[in-house]
Amino acid sequence: MTRVLAGVCACLLLLWTPACGGGKEITKAEEKDVLKILRSDKFEILDPQASSSGGDIAILAQMYEGLVRAPEIKDGPVSVPKWEPSLATDWKVEDNAKIYTFTLRENVKFHDGTSLNADAVKKSFERLIQKDHPAQPTKRPYATDLADIAKIEAPDAKTVRFTLHDSNPRFLANVSLHAAFVISSKAIDEMAKLNTPAKREKWLIENTSGTGPYRIARAEDYRGSESVTLTAFEDYWGGAPQIKLLSFTSMADHKSRREQVLAGAAGFTDTLLPSDWEDLKANKGVTLFTWDAINIMYLAMNCDQSKNYPTKDKRVRDAIAMVVDRTPFVERYYGAAKPAHVLIPYTMPFGHPKDYKPKTDTMSRDEALQTARRLIREAGVEGAVIKLILPEVPRPYLLYPRELADLIRQQLEPIGLKIELEPRKMAEIGEMVPKGDYALMLLGWMGDNGEPDNFWRPLLDGVKNEKGQWQPSDNNLARFFDIEVHRRIEEAGREADISKRDKLYKDLEMWAHDQFRPIVPLLTAKKSYAWTSKLKGVRVDTGDQFYLDKAYFEK
C-alpha cells in the first residue's frame, strides 16, 4: 500500500516538474534591456479589431500601427487633433472629404516577414468592415466607426484609396483608431483557415502580425490575461527599439504598483492614486506624468423598453440624475477630476456648452430630493431593488469602483431605491452590454481620437441589425437609441466647418440629456503614468497611449 502511494506521488512530482520550468528565463546580461511594466488593467483580447478595452489597447499599441497616429500630448486641454504620419507618409483628401488617398511608407515589414503594401492595408480593412468575413474576429465594436467606407482600392503597391459613402471630415480620426491597425495579409489568410472566431483570436495572440516595434515572440510569452512578454522587433521600420523586452504584468492593487516602482522592482506603471501624486512628484527616482485625459465616468440607466427594469421609465431616470451628487466623487480624486454634466469631456474640443447643465442638475439639494421622491412615487417603483453593475478592477476614470458605487447607493436610498452592488469582470461586462440584462451600470469611456463622434456613436447611438432594425451598439451601456439623436450625430459628424460642427454638438448636448436622460455623466479624471527616472524617451499621445520604441535607459 505504502509503496503504491509512494509511486503515485513520484509520478505526480515528475509530471509537475516540467510545468514549473516552462517560461522564458531572462538571463543576467539581458536584464538591463528589460522594462517591467505593471498595469492596473488586465488584457483580454489581443486582436486590434475585436478589442474595446483600454487594458488591451495599451499592449496592442506596442505591436500594431495604423496609417496615421495621434500627436504627442502636452498637458492641458487638447485642441483639434492634427494627425501624424505612421504607416502612411502622406495623404490627400478630395471630393469634399469623400475620397482619402494614402501614400504608404516604404520598407515596412510585418512581424511575419512580409512587407507592407496597399493590398495588405486593403485586406486588413476588409476584415474589419465586411460582414461574414472568412477571418472574422470575435466581435467588432469599432466597425461602425469605419462603416462609411464604400470602396477600398489599391491603384499601386504604395497607394490606398478609400471612397466613402458620404463626406466625412473626421475619417482620419477614425483611421487612427486601434481598430484600424493594419494586420498582415498572411495572418488574415491563416486565420481564415480556422473555423471559429475564438480559435482565430488565440492564433493572433500566438502569432502577432503587426508592424509595431514589439511583438509576442513565442506562445509561452503570453501567460493569460495577467502577464505577457513582448520582444523587440529588430526589423522595425523606425529602427530596432533599445529596450529589448517589455514584461507586462497586471496588478490591480495600486499600493503594490506604487511600491514596486519606488523600490525599482518595476520600471513603469499606470493609474496611480491622485492622493499619492504629491509624494511621487517629490521623489527623484520616479518620473510622474499626469495629464488632462479624454474620458468620462458615467452612470448608465437601461432605457430598453422591452426589458422590465424601472429605469425604462424616464421619470425614474430623471429622479436618479437629480439626486446624484458629484461633489463627493470629485473629492475622492484630490483635485484630479472635474464634475461632468454632459457627455463630451471638457478636455477635448467640441461640445460641452459653457456652464450648461441639464435641468435635472440645476436644482437645490432639497428641491431635487423632493422632486425625485415624487417622480419615483408616480412611476410606482418605490422600494424597488435595483442592481448596479460595476467593474471589479479600477479603471483610469473610475479609481474606486466599489467606493463610488456605494456612494451612489447611499445617494439613491433617500428616494426609495434600494441598490445592490454587483462587481463584474470587464470581459463579463463586455458580454452583458449587448444583452442589456441590467438596470444600472457604473463605468466610463476613454476617448480614442479626440472626436465627439467617438463618444456619441459608441455610447448613445445604434446600428442596423440583419433585419434592418436599429439596435443600440455594443458599447451603448444605456441601451438607448433614438432616430433623431442618430440623425443629429450623423449631421454633426459630416459638417466640415469647425465652428458649425461645434454648435451642432453643443445643441445636441443641450437637447438630448433633457429629452431622454439615458446617462448621468459624473466626472472626467486626469490620468497618470509613473516610471523610473532612468527611463527616457517615453512618448504619450493624445489618445492616452504610451510608446516605448524610442525609449532607453540612461546610463
Task: Give the binding site for other proteins (CB under 8 A).
Answer: 255, 273, 275-276, 325, 327-328, 331-332, 400, 402-403, 406-407, 410-411, 421
In angstroms, what is the minimal distance from the CB of 339 to other proteins?
Answer: 14
Give one DSSP letter per residue of 346-374, joined into a string. Answer: TTSSS---TT---GGGSS-HHHHHHHHHH
Q: Which residue's CB is nearer to other proteins, number 275 or number 371?
A: 275
In angstroms, what is the minimal distance from the CB of 316 to other proteins?
Answer: 22
Strands (E), 187-317: 214-215, 222-223, 227-232, 245-250, 268-270, 286-291, 295-301
Burial of 155 (0-12, 13-18, 19+ CB in 10 A): exposed
Q: Which residue's CB is nearer to other proteins, number 195 or number 327?
A: 327
Q: Which residue's CB is nearer to other proteins, number 33 or number 392?
A: 392
Amino acid present at 471:
Q
Contact 464, 470 (CB under 8 A): yes
In angstroms, what is the minimal distance from the CB of 524 to other proteins?
Answer: 20
How far apart are alpha carbons 359 and 321 in whole angstroms? Answer: 10
Grid cell 421619470 is found at 315
Cα distances (angstroms) measured from residue 431 to each of 138, 446, 465, 530, 540:
11, 19, 17, 32, 30
Give the pairing of strands 245-250 and 227-232: antiparallel
In angstroms, what is the minimal distance from the CB of 309 to other proteins?
Answer: 21
Q: Which residue's CB is nearer to other proteins, number 277 or number 481?
A: 277
In angstroms, what is the minimal distance from the CB of 447 to other proteins?
Answer: 27
How far apart are alpha carbons 45 and 384 in whole angstroms? Answer: 37
Q: Taking each helix axis from N to C terminus, what angle separates 483-494 and 453-460, rounded to the nearest 10 degrees?
A: 160
Q: Which residue's CB is nearer to other proteins, number 224 or number 328?
A: 328
Q: Which residue's CB is nearer to other proteins, number 59 or number 429?
A: 429
Strands (E), 80-218: 84-85, 88-94, 99-104, 149-156, 159-164, 214-215
Q: Which residue's CB is nearer to other proteins, number 196 or number 410?
A: 410
Q: Which residue's CB is nearer to other proteins, number 103 or number 371?
A: 371
In angstroms, what is the minimal distance from the CB of 462 to other proteins?
Answer: 34
In angstroms, what is the minimal distance from the CB of 198 to other proteins?
Answer: 24
In angstroms, what is the minimal distance from the CB of 424 to other proteins?
Answer: 12
How far apart are alpha carbons 171 and 147 in whole angstroms? Answer: 11
Report how far apart the first and last C-alpha atoms of the chain are (Å, whole number): 63
Q: What is the dihedral of CA 525, 72, 113, 32, to 10 degrees?
A: -80
In angstroms, what is the minimal distance from the CB of 421 to other proteins?
Answer: 7
Give, as one character, the DSSP assignment of residue 274: G
3-state percent breakdown (helix, strand, coil) of the chain, nearest 5:
35, 25, 40
Q: Which residue's CB is nearer to other proteins, number 157 or number 421?
A: 421
Tell me the three cell numbers of residue 484.
433623431
CA 80, 211, 100 angle in degrees (round to 5)?
A: 45
How far apart are alpha carbons 49 and 143 in whole angstroms? Answer: 8
Give, as one character, the DSSP assignment of residue 26: P
Give, as one character, the DSSP assignment of residue 74: -
Q: Which residue's CB is nearer to other proteins, number 89 or number 410?
A: 410
**What residues have CB less than 8 Å from 15, skipping those under 6 apart?**
none
In angstroms, what is the minimal distance from the CB of 271 to other proteins?
Answer: 13
How far apart are alpha carbons 418 and 402 in whole angstroms? Answer: 16
Give, as one character, the DSSP assignment of residue 59: H
**What residues have CB less than 8 Å from 284, skipping those under 6 apart?**
533
Q: Which residue's CB is nearer to other proteins, number 175 or number 272?
A: 272
Q: Which residue's CB is nearer to other proteins, number 130 or number 410?
A: 410
In angstroms, what is the minimal distance from the CB of 407 to other proteins?
Answer: 7
Burial of 301 (0-12, 13-18, 19+ CB in 10 A): buried
Residue 358 φ then ψ, to 5°:
-60, 155
Q: Which residue's CB is nearer to other proteins, number 232 or number 393?
A: 393
Q: Which residue's CB is nearer to other proteins, number 40 or number 117?
A: 40
Q: How many CB atoms lie within 10 A of CB 198?
A: 10
CA 534, 539, 542 angle in degrees (round to 5)?
A: 145
